[in-house]
Amino acid sequence: MNLFRSKEHVHQWALFNPESESAITPVRDWVRLVFGTLPRYTQRLAPDYLARAAEHSAGLPAALAELSQGSEFWRLS
Amino acid sequence: MRDGNLMAIDPDTAVGHFNTRISGWYSDIGKT
């Protein structure tokens, strides 16, 4: 994930892909819906993290769907 | 990093961005 100061800075980026417009999302939403809540990210220091990685990742597709409001760009497959 | 050149990121405007579709992340797994 690239981090930018603002949406306008994303548009100014020379390599910006116009098809990725729906992939510009506030960092606060990322933390609220994904990085701060999913065990895939919150349990990374757990001793059994790798053994439970698949279990921890189970909620990722739904979280991305909510974050993207169903955008096709975010489909995992 | 020099003093005065530090540009604070405003958490209210900061955004995350993926330039390619997320499905593309996984398409190369297992390829050599």
Mean pLDDT of B15-32: 65
Chain B closest-CA separation from residue A4 CA (Å): 5
Q: Which residues 1-30 of chain B have a CB within 8 Å of chain A?
A: 7, 9-23, 26
% of chain A at pLDDT higher than 70: 97
Q: Is residue A22 classed as helix, strand or coil in its secondary structure?
A: helix
Q: What is the mean pLDDT of chain A?
A: 89
For residue B14, pLDDT over 70 is answered with yes
Q: Do A5 and B13 touch (CB under 8 A)?
A: yes
Report the relative pairing of strands A2-4 and A24-26 from DSSP bridges. Answer: unpaired
Mean pLDDT of A1-29: 91
For residue B29, pLDDT over 60 is answered with no
Answer whether A73's CB lies under 8 Å from A44's CB: no
Q: Is the ipTM of this complex over 0.90?
A: no
A6 vs B13, B22, B23: nearest CB:
B13
pTM: 0.70
Answer whether A40's CB lies under 8 Å from A56's CB: yes
For residue A75, pLDDT over 50 is answered with yes
- Residue-wise pLDDT tens digits, A29-55: 999 999 999 999 999 999 999 999 999
Contacts of A17 in chain B (CB under 8 A): 19-20
